Amino acid sequence: MGLFIRQIVVFTAFFAPIFASATSDPGQVIPLAPPAVNQTIQGRGKYTPGNVQICVGSNWAHPCAAYALGVKGVCWAIPKPYKANVGSIIPDPGAICYLYDEDDAGCTGKGIDIVWYPGTANLHYPPDYPGYKAAYWKCEKASNCLPTSYVNPNGNMYAALFSGLNF
């Protein structure tokens, strides 16, 4: 019987990381006062790669919060009221962040959107509506260059060039 238990322990220790899913803790919450959200988002001066500011509404409409996700590629569950309701998002400079849907709790698939500073003002856009699907997120340190981006007619940021990025 002892050998059987040791085999189960070894099996569990070996395979647990493979079957691991996102942690439910979204990272350290950073206080964000509602009246100052635009000032806080646009010009707070000091940035920390891995900090992400998120709002339910497009164009930074409240409620909003900021989270310290880090840049180690840890998969976090997006907390309520933001889960499947991300209207706008801004990662601090120096990080690139990925959004995943409900079916990708380990953040291992291709994801539903990629965001970087200065963020995306509207994730509730057709045809895919990624803001209504986002359930998990992770951030990683960006390489020495950031993607060139442009704003489409709907006000959404899209990548025009991804060369040189470390994903």
- Domain at 98, CATH number: 2.60.20.10
Instruction: State if pTM tops 0.85.
Output: no
23-74 pLDDT, tens per residue?
A: 445 555 554 443 333 334 444 457 888 899 999 999 988 888 888 899 999 9
Over range 105-122, report the average pLDDT: 92
In a domain, 14, yes or no: no
Does residue 148 carry a pLDDT above 60?
no
In a domain, 15, yes or no: no
The parent domain of residue 31 ranges over 22-161
In a domain, 101, yes or no: yes
In a domain, 90, yes or no: yes
Q: How far is 138 from 92, CA to CA, in rounded Å?
A: 13
**Contact by Cβ (8 Å): 119, 90:** yes
In a domain, 70, yes or no: yes
In a domain, 3, yes or no: no
The number of folded domains in the chain is 1
In a domain, 7, yes or no: no
**Contact by Cβ (8 Å): 48, 68:** yes
3-class DSSP state of 70: coil
Label residue 153 left, alpha or beta by phi (over 0 means left) and psi (-120 to 50 means alpha).
alpha
